[in-house]
Amino acid sequence: MMETLIIREGKLNCNIETKGLIENEDMKNFLRLIAVYRNLQEKNDDDAERYGALIDMIIENVNAILARQKKEKQMADTLKVYFRKIDENVRLPERNGAAWDLFLPADVHIEAGQTVKIPLGFAAALPEGYSAFILMRSSTWQKWGLCLGNQLGLWDGGYRGNKDQLGLICYRPNSYKGYPEIIPAGTRIAQFIIFRNPPDLDFEIVDNLPDPSRGGFGSTGE
């Protein structure tokens, strides 16, 4: 739970945000120090300036600690993907919302009614225990009239060797004759979403299932 301490006292004007990064006892001591500072200010005590400088120094150190710990947390939340270039012109995937965009490393020629295999110019090793779904971007259909052959591609986490180049099988419907035949290198052609592999399943053969039948295939729709 985020606790925000707003200090606006004399020359102090700053915010300190904590997410369990500062021990509660440390925060209590800091608040006690501020109380002493306020009391000295009210009395116009000469020590007020000294306490104010001390509080400024503590705030600076606390903000530095929070920034460092925030960066460390972000690094801990980042997964490593090993990326091997097969085509030197390939670009690294770029994050775009929940997915990462994939780019064409070279021009692709496709005419209406054709199906083509498009190499993406790299092999990669996803983190252990992860795989990814590959989807077409909406702009790929709108700008280039391309569909992914299997609609939804699976990038299996075990596909991770030096020669395991990632690629797409795409087609352009025969009726889509007004689109450019050349799709240039560098085009954002598809995207992938990473996910953790599901757990293993243990299949057990039984004579009866635990729940009543719902009517069979196709019975729940119209």
Question: What is the DSSP code string of 85-121?
Answer: ESSTTPPPPEEETTEEEEE-SS-EE--TT-EEEEEEE
What letter would DSSP give residue 222?
Answer: -
Q: Is 77 a catalytic residue?
A: no
- Catalytic: which of 156, 164, 202, 211? 156
β-pairing, 153-155 vs 130-136, is: antiparallel
C-beta separation of 33 from 52 below 8 A: no
DSSP-based three-state secondary structure for 169: strand
Q: Which residue has the tokens 């020590």?
A: 47
Residues contacting residue 119 through CB under 8 Å, at least 6 positions apart: 86, 87, 105, 165, 166, 167
Question: What is the DSSP code string of 112-166?
Answer: TT-EEEEEEEEEEEPPTTEEEEEEE-HHHHHHH--EETTSSEEE-TT--STT-EE
Catalytic residues: 156
